[in-house]
Each structure stands twice: as structure tokens, then as C-alpha cells.
Amino acid sequence: MEQPVAYGVCAEKRRLVEEYGQATEAYLQSMHELRARTPTSRKADYEQLRKAVEIARLKAEKVRVALERHLSEHHC
């Protein structure tokens, strides 16, 4: 696999770091929404929000694992 390097920084690493930042941000936002809305939510709405938080958490976790794997394989 080609690893383009821009300005001395591994492009794939930059992409993963960026993606991880966005995924983490999305997770925190969904978490915030869950906390803000739980007291007034019906059970079905709560379940939906809780599921969204879980999906966002898993995505952030997946990107984190990909980033760690890249760092250990690519030593960048």
C-alpha cells in the first residue's frame, strides 16, 4: 500500500488522527444530548438516543484501534 508523505507527516496518520477527533467529538455530542434529554424522554426516544451513543462510541473505538495499529506497523 502506498503511503504518501506530506510535509514530513504520514498522510494516513493525519487522516486517522483527524477521523478520530471527529468520531470522538460525535460521541461526546451524542452523550451530551442523551444527558440533556433523558429526563423528558419517553422510553422509546431514550432507547434510540442510547443506541446512537453506543454506535458513536463503537465508531470512535474502531478508529482508535486503526490508528494504534497503523502507528505500530508504520512507526510514524
- Which residues are near Zn ion by CB under 5 A? 10, 12-13, 74, 76
Q: Of 58 and 65, which has the nearer Cβ to Zn ion?
A: 65
What is the nearest approach in angstroms of Zn ion to the Cβ of residue 26?
Answer: 24
- Measured in residues, the chain has a length of 76
Question: Nearest Cα to 31, choosing from 46, 49, 14?
Answer: 49
Which residue has cell 504518501? 4
What is the nearest approach in angstroms of Zn ion to the Cβ of residue 13?
Answer: 4
Q: Of 51 and 69, which has the nearer Cβ to Zn ion?
A: 69
Contact 23, 59 (CB under 8 A): yes
- The three-state secondary structure class of 2 is coil
What is the nearest approach in angstroms of Zn ion to the Cβ of residue 6?
Answer: 11
Q: Of 32 and 74, which has the nearer Cβ to Zn ion?
A: 74
